[in-house]
Amino acid sequence: MSDDLKIALDEVSGAADCHLVLLDLTGSAGLEDDALRSVATFVAEVQRHPDRSTVVWDAGRHGLHLGADAMIMPGAPEWLFQAWLEGCARSGLLPLVFVHAHALTAHIAAALDRERGATTVPFPLLVELRRDADAAAEMFTAIRQLSVLRMVLGRRRADAGRAEGGDELVDACTSAAVLLAMTVLEAESLLDALTGLLNRRALGRDLPSALSAAERDHHDLSVVMIDIDGLKALNDIEGHGAGDGALRAFADAWRTQLRLGDDVYRVGGDEFVLLLHGVDSEEAQHVLHRAFDRTAQPFSWGVATFPGDGIDGSRLLDIADRRLIDRRTGRERRSAARPNTVPT
């Protein structure tokens, strides 16, 4: 691998008319240090000669921390990118949602230039989408923009009297963009939009597997139901903006207090669920008392623990919810008699 890489770098470095270089080392975890030094030296040399080279670089896995660099330099083919921009503008599809739109069109243009050719494109890199809109909107916009690119290529072929060229690359990019967007959509469907915590759907996915792991490894699993106290009153008095702020602060507090491997879910307006792995009921109570003292927003809770309280997820959630109601009722009674009572 090291010798092949050095030969390839030497050949590219000696090509005075080289205008596109695509380096994708994501599968090369075993590169020796001297090969990595060769790569770093090559990239530095390329960047000193911007008049003749374009680099798409992805080597973060190797610790070089050069990032993903997509630079279209003078002399690189611009016709396709400009035609794509104009076509999208006519269709009301600007701005382009692709992070590396320039590199994408440069690769396709180079592939159509049979004299120069191009290396195999790392499609997941070139079809990376910007994240300044929701994933669904990005997916549909990306597909429409790639359709415009396909039409631009078709007109170019017609003008040049060519029967084919470029469509397979655009189609591959379209497929990669769709798969990428679907992955993002799936991940976002498991998150609460306000707090960024996992949501009820994620809990339905995770609780059965957590119970299976607890049974297999013979350890406890505590399921905790939590309600924020006074959220409705906060919304009524100070407005929903204040309530949303309290929810985000509450979520952030739990992120900092849970151990790695434990999970917190927002499952309703002011309702949260914790999964505490390897924690019995008594230890769970200690965790919650400590959190109550450190969290600005007061809350009530109920705990049910596998296997002592049951082995079914729905039953554990139901028991935890009933205990939460009992705790809240008891707190309200004590608070009426002694204000500012710390929960027991």
The model's pLDDT over 142-201, given as tens digits with 9 standing for 90+, comes to 888 888 988 888 887 677 665 555 667 677 777 776 776 677 777 778 999 899 999 999
Q: What is the pLDDT of residue 54?
A: 41
The band of 332, judged by pLDDT with boundaries at 50, 70 and 90, is low
The band of 288, judged by pLDDT with boundaries at 50, 70 and 90, is very high
| Whether pLDDT at 218 is above 60 | yes
| Whether pLDDT at 55 is above 50 | no
State both tokens at 160: 């040049």
| Whether pLDDT at 126 is above 70 | no
Q: What is the pLDDT of residue 221?
A: 97
Q: What is the pLDDT of residue 23?
A: 44
Q: What b/e string do you get for 277-293 counting C-beta neighbours within 10 Å, with b at 16 or more?
A: bebbbeebbebbeebee
How many residues would you count in the chain? 344
Q: What is the pLDDT of residue 136?
A: 66
Q: Tokens 């670089």, residue?
A: 57
| Whether pLDDT at 61 is above 70 | no
Which segment, 42-51, 79-88, 92-101, 282-291, is predicted with the most confidence on average?
A: 282-291
| Whether pLDDT at 42 is above 80 | no
Which residues does 189 contact at the CB level (< 8 Å), separation at least 6?
Answer: 201
Residue type, 201: R
Domain ranges of the chain: 2-70, 79-188, 198-337
Q: What is the pLDDT of residue 35?
A: 53
The model's pLDDT over 293-329, given as tens digits with 9 standing for 90+, comes to 888 889 999 999 999 999 999 999 999 999 999 988 8
Q: Report which DSSP code applies to 226.
A: E
How far apart are alpha carbons 99 and 114 in whole angstroms? Answer: 26
What's the whole-number mean pLDDT along residues 47-62?
41
Contact criterion met (CB below 8 Å) for 51 and 16: no
Determine what percent of the chain is predicted with pLDDT higher than 70.
61
Q: What is the pLDDT of residue 7?
A: 53
| Whether pLDDT at 19 is above 50 | no
Contact criterion met (CB below 8 Å) for 292 and 298: yes
Whether the model pTM is above 0.85: no
| Whether pLDDT at 141 is above 70 | yes
Q: What is the pLDDT of residue 307?
A: 96
Contact criterion met (CB below 8 Å) for 310 and 304: yes
The band of 98, judged by pLDDT with boundaries at 50, 70 and 90, is confident
Position with higher pLDDT, 35 vs 305: 305
The CATH T-level fold of domain 198-337 is Alpha-Beta Plaits (3.30.70)
